[in-house]
Structure 1
C-alpha cells in the first residue's frame, strides 16, 4: 500500500479515536477546602544570575593539581598528573519537538533546561533561552562521560572538556592515603580549583574540626489534596541533586521520601514529574519540572497550590494506574512513554486521549485540563479521576488486540462507559485507602463531576447517555431503583434505574470478554455468557433495558 494511502488510513483512525476518547466537562462547584489556588498564577520562570567560571576545565584542573602537588605531602603515589578529559559538557538544540523526544528517549542523559555553570537567582518551572522563540525547544544541557556515544545527529555544541576528580576512581585509589586537615587529596584538589575560579561558596571546610562527612541530599515531597484537606505523599517523582556537573538521582517512595548518594557541600535540587512509563508535560510540549534551591540541607517540597499542585495530581493518577495496585486491571504497555499534557487552563472537556501513536510522538497522548469551561478549578480527586479515565482509553485499545480498526468499531457508549467505571473504581480505591471509607459509594455525596458523587447511582437517562453507569452497576451491590434523586437538568425527583445485578469484577470483564464488546447488544450477550454465580439472564435484561 502506498504512503499516501497509509497516511489517510492513519489519520481517519486517529480521528475516530479522538471522537470517542474524552471525558466530558461537567462543571463542578469548587469545594470550600479548595486551598489557595489562583487561576491567574502562571508557572514560575527561572531567572539566571551571573555566569560562573568553570573550575572543572582541563586548564583550571591542571593549575589546581600543580598547586596542591607542590605543597607539603600533597602527592599521589604516581608522578603522572591524573588530569585528563573524563567528561564533556554539552548542550543540544532539537530542531522541533519530535527531535526533542528523540533526545529524551536516551534515558541515561540527565538533561537540564538551564546551563549548569550559572547562578540561579530565582528557581521555578520554566526557562527559555532568550535566543530561542517561544514554543520551540530550548537548549538542553548535560554532562556525559567522554567516551559516551550520544546522538550526534541532533544539533549540539561541546561547551567544555571536563575533568571531574570526584568521579575518578583511579585518582581515588592512588591518593587514598593522602590527607590534610581531614581532607582527601580529591577534596583538596577540588577546593583549590574552586578558589582559583572564585567559587568560594563551593569549597569544603578546611578546618578539621568543622570538616563534614558526606551529605546525602534528601527530603519529602507532598501535594495538598483539596478533597482530603491535607498534604499527601507524592510517590514516584524523580529527584535530582547536582553539584556542578555531577548529578545524583533518586525516586520518592510511598511516603514521599527520597535520598540520593552524597556530596560534601551544597547541591542544586530539582524535581521532575517523570517516571519510567510516562511523563507529565507543561501543556503540549516541555517537561514539567521544578528547579529548586542550592543548599546543603534537606529539600522538603510541599505543593500547596498553583500549577505544581495540578501537575502533582496528574502524576498521582498516572502513578496509580501504572505502578500501584489496580486489582488485576491491565496497565498501559505501549513500548514508549505515555505523555500526559497538563494544561494550566480551561478546556471543553476535563480530559482527552488523542491516541496511542508513537508515530505522533511530537504530540502528547493524553490531555488533562486544570479548569472547567466555567473557570472553576477541578478538585484534586477530579484531576486524579480524569487522569485514570483517559489512561483507561489507552488500555481499552490494547485490549482490542491493539487494533485501531477493532477499537474504532466500539460505539461511544461502551468506549466511554468503561473508563467511567475504571476511574470510579481506582479513585475510590485511592481515597478509601486515605481515610474516606465510603468514598465512591452510593451514600457519599460530594460536589464533584461524575462518577465520584454517589457512585454515579443517579445517572440521568436524559443526559450524558454515553457516559453511563452500566459497568459500575455490574460490580456494585446497590440497586438504585430503591431511591430517588433530584435531577438538576429537569429540576425533578426521579427514581434510579433498575439494577438487580451484582458480582462481576472489572478485571474479569477486561480480561475475559471486553474485547468482544462493541455495543449494548454484544455487551448483553457477553454478560450472559460470562455471568457469575447467582446472576440470571432475566436480571441482566432488566439492567440492560435501562440503556
Structure 2
C-alpha cells in the first residue's frame, strides 16, 4: 500500500525541443547468423519492393459511360434480367477524385478523412509489381504523391486541397434492399447482378476464373460457347454475349442459383505473420481492413482481432478486393497509431489486387516489408490495449505516427517534439540497428515497446522532455533505464507466453542468461551506459553479483518485489536518481527497501560514466 500521497505534478514546460532515443542492442554477444541476417534470406520472392510499379491502364468499369453501355447491352441480351420498371437511369452516384496536396496540412486533411479513404495508387491500373508505396512520376510539383478516392456525389470535398474529378461513377445499390426482399426487389437484385457482370465484361475487367465459369453466344443463346471456344474462334469475351440463363454456380437448379447470388455474406479473412524469433505464426492484431467493391468503392471496414481474424457486416456485393492498413482506431475517428512505410508520407499497407467473389481473404507474411510492418503493428497494438492497462502504465497519446524503417541502418527513435512544418513521425522503428544488425521479431517488438514507453512517459511528465532538462546528466539515465526496464519485462512476458522455451535473439552467451536483455545483467558498472537494468533489478529476485561464469564484478542486487506501476509512479516528476529512489521508499512498503540505496548506487555511478565532470 502507499505510505503517502503522490506529490503534485510540477508545471509542464511549454517549450520542447527535438530529441531522440538512440536505441541499439549493442551489448548482444549472440548475433543472428550471416544467412539469417542477409537481405537475400529476408526477401524470398517478388512483390515486396519499396515502390509499386503500375501495369496496364484498364477501362473504368463503374464509370457512368461504361455502365450506360452495359445497360444497353443488357437490354439487347435475351437471356439477361431486365429491370421490373422497364427503365433504369444510369445516374452519377459517386465521384472518382484525384488529390494533389501541397503541404502537410492538406496531406493530413485527406489521409485522416475516413470517408475519403484515400489510396496512393490509382484504381484503374493493373499492378506490374506490388510494393509498399506508389510514387507517381508526374507528381513533380509537390513533395507528396497524388492520392485517389471514390466518394458519394454529394460529399463535400475539401476545397482547400487541390483536386480534380477524374470520372463520374455509377454503383448499383443492392445493399439498400432489406433482409427479406419482395418479389420485385428480388428481380431488381437479379438485374443488378447481370448489369454489373456486363459492365465488367465489356470493360474487360472480368477475372480469368469468372470468364471460365460463364457460357457465351454470338447471336443464338443455344450456341453455348465455352471460354475456350471463344478463344479458339479468335474472339474476346467482351465481343460476345453471356448466357445469363445459365448461371455459373454449383447449384443445378436455376432458381436455387438465383437465390444463392441474392444472399448476403460477410467479407472476412485472417492475416498472420511469421515470428522468426520463435518460428511461430501469430495474428496481425488490430489492423484496419477495407473492403472495396470491385477494388473501387469502400463498402465495409473492420479490424483484425488478436488472432488476425476479421469479419465485416453483411453485403450483397459479389466481387470485392481487400486491403490491410497497419493502423488502429480506438473508436470512431479516434486513431491510436499509424505505422508509416519507411516515410512520413505513406501509410504501411497491403493492398490485395485479386478479386474475391464471396470469398475470404488470407494473408501470411513470412518475409520482407509486410512481415516487418506486422511486427510493429503487433507491438503497438499490444502496448495500447494490453501492456499499458495490465501494468498500469501511462498511455501514449492517440494519433501517434510510427515510421517503420525497413532498409536503412539507423537507431530507433522517440521524438518528443518536432519543430518543422513537415508531418514528422513521433517514433521511428528500424528493422536494422545503427550497426546494421537485423532485429528479429522479438527485437522489433522490444524496440517498439521501448519507444512507446518514452511516449507514455512524456505524456505523464512532459517537463522531463523539455528544453530546460536537455543538459541534465540525470535525464538520459532516468528516461532510458525506465524504457529499457518496461521493454525487458513485457517482452519476456509475451515471448515466454508464446513459447515457454523462448531463447532471446540478444541473449548473453551464458546458460543462466537466456531471455531478452539478460545481457544487461552481465555488465559491470564500467561497461554500462544509460540503459541500465535498474527496473528489472527492482522487480526480479536475481542477484547478478552472484551469477557464476560471466566474469567481472556486477552490481549487488538485493531488492525484489516492486512492480512496473509502482516504479513508474515513483519516477513521475523526478529529475534525479535520488528522487526516484526516495519515492520508492516513501510511497510503498517493501521488505527489501533497506537495500534500495545500495542498488541505486550503481546507477549513480553509471550516470557519471564518460563525464569529465561528475554529476552532483
Q: Post-superposition shift, 1:389?
A: 0.5
Pairing 1:288–2:348 present? yes
Cα distance in structure 2, aligned partners of 1:71 and 1:40: 53
- Quote the residue 1:272 is aligned against: 325
Task: State which of 14, 21, 28 in structure 1 corresponds to 2:17.
Answer: 14
**Do structure 1's residue 50 and structure 2's residue 50 form an aligned pair?**
no
* Compared CA separation, residues 135 and 80, structure 1 to 2 (3 A): closer
Partner Cα distance (2:141, 2:543) in 1? 54
The corresponding residue for 1:469 is 533
1:130 aligns with 2:137: yes
| Cα distance change on mapping 1:123 and 1:267 into 2, 3 Å | farther
Rounded Cα–Cα distance in structure 2 between residues aligned with 1:175 and 1:49: 44
Distance 2:141 2:171 in 1: 34
Distance in 1, matches of 2:517 and 2:111, equals: 40
SS of structure 1 residue aligned to 2:374: helix
In structure 2, do the counterparts of structure 1 residues 108 and 385 end up closer, same or farther at CA, with 3 Å as the change threshold?
same
Q: Distance in 2 between matches of 1:376 and 1:76?
A: 64
| Pair 97,398 (structure 1): closer, same or farther in 2 beyond 3 Å | same
Partner Cα distance (1:466, 1:241) in 2: 47
Instruction: Quote how far apart the aligned CAs of 1:518 are.
Output: 1.4
CA contact (8 A) 1:124 1:292 kept: no
Match of 1:3 in 2: none
Measured against aligned partners, the alpha-carbon deviations of 1:283-342 in whole angstroms (never above 9, x if no partner) come to 23211122223133443222112222222212221111112244233353435x111111
Question: What's the counterpart of residue 6 of structure 1?
Answer: none
Mapped to 2, the partners of 1:523 and 1:427 lie a distance apart of 24
Q: Hey, what does 2:363 align to over in structure 1?
A: 301
Match of 2:415 in 1: 354
Question: What residue in structure 2 maps to residue 480 of structure 1?
Answer: 544
Cα deviation for residue 171 of structure 1 reads: 11
**CA drift at 1:48:** 2.3
Maintained 8 Å contact 2:42/2:367? no
8 Å CA contact 1:113, 1:140 repeated in 2: yes
Contact (CA 8 Å) 1:35, 1:304: kept in 2 or not? no
Q: Which residue of 2 aligns with 1:100?
A: 107
Cα distance, 1:494–1:519 mapped onto 2, change above 3 Å = same
Taking a change above 3 Å as real, the CA distance of residues 88 and 209 of structure 1, as seen in their structure-2 partners, is: closer
Q: How many residues align?
A: 522
1:434 is matched with: 498
TM-score where L is the length of structure 2: 0.75
Render the CA deviation track for 1:178-222: whole Å, top value 9, x for unaligned: 657x96121122223334434344789532362554664433222
Please report how far the alpha carbon of residue 167 of structure 1 lies from its aligned counterpart in structure 2 after TM superposition. 5.5
In 2 relative to 1, CA 76–266 (structure 1 residues): closer, same or farther, beyond 3 Å?
closer
Residues 170 and 439 of structure 1: is their aligned pair in 2 closer, same or farther, counting only changes over 3 Å? same
Question: Corresponding residue for 1:161?
Answer: 168
- Using the alignment, how far apart are the partners of 2:419 and 2:191 within structure 1? 50
Structure 1 residue 208 corresponds to structure 2 residue 208: no
| Contact 2:503-2:514 within 8 A present in 1 as well | no
Q: 2: distance between equivalents of 1:217 and 1:100?
A: 30
The 5 Å alignment of 1:266-415 reads 266-276=319-329, 277-285=336-344, 286-296=346-356, 297-326=359-388, 327-335=390-398, 337-349=399-411, 351-356=412-417, 362-400=423-461, 404-405=465-466, 411-415=475-479
Looking at structure 2, the residues matched to 307 and 135 of structure 1 have their Cα atoms a distance apart, in angstroms, of 26
Offset at residue 125 of structure 1 (A): 1.9
2:283 pairs with 1:233: yes
What's the offset of the Cα at 1:166?
3.5
Q: Map 1:500-511 onto structure 2 (within 5 A).
A: 500-510=558-568
Report SS of the residue matched to 1:275: strand
After superposition, the C-alpha distances for 1:240-269 in whole angstroms (9 at most, x for unaligned) are 333142223322211112234456544333
TM-score by length of 1: 0.84
Q: CA deviation at 1:237?
A: 1.7
* Partner residue in 2 for 1:252: 304
CA distance in 2, matches of 1:133, 1:27: 44
Query: How far, CA to CA, are the matches of 1:184 and 1:105 in structure 2?
Result: 37
> Structure 1 residue 194 and structure 2 residue 189: aligned?
no
- Residues 127 and 495 of structure 1: CA distance in aligned 2, closer, same or farther (over 3 Å): same
How far apart are 1:509 and its partner, in Å?
A: 2.7
Where in structure 1 are there 5+ consecutive unaligned residues? 1-8, 487-492
Relative to structure 1, the CA distance from residue 531 to residue 215 in structure 2 (aligned partners, 3 Å threshold; closer, same or farther) is closer
Counterpart of 1:519 in structure 2 is 576
CA RMSD of superposed structures (Å): 3.6
Change beyond 3 A, Cα 1:46–1:176:
farther
Match of 1:541 among 586, 597, 602: 597
Supply the distance in 1 between the matched residues of 2:271 and 2:408 (Cα, whole angstroms): 27
Secondary structure in 2 matching 1:290: strand
1:468-514 CA-to-partner distances (Å, cap 9, x unmatched) read: 1111111112222222453xxxxxx123311111121111332x332
| Structure 1 Cα separation of the partners of residues 464 and 581 of structure 2 | 23
Shift of the alpha carbon at 1:422?
A: 0.7
Partners in 1 of 2:510 and 2:123 — Cα distance?
47
CA distance in 1, matches of 2:341, 2:364: 19
* Secondary structure, counterpart of 1:22 in structure 2: coil
Q: Distance in 2 between matches of 1:420 and 1:315?
A: 20
Alignment correspondent of 1:4: none
1:150 has 2:214 as partner: no
Q: Which moved more, 1:141-150 or 1:408-417?
A: 408-417
Alignment-derived partner of residue 489 in structure 2: 425
Q: Are the counterparts in 2 of residues 38 and 306 from structure 1 also a CA contact under 8 Å?
A: no
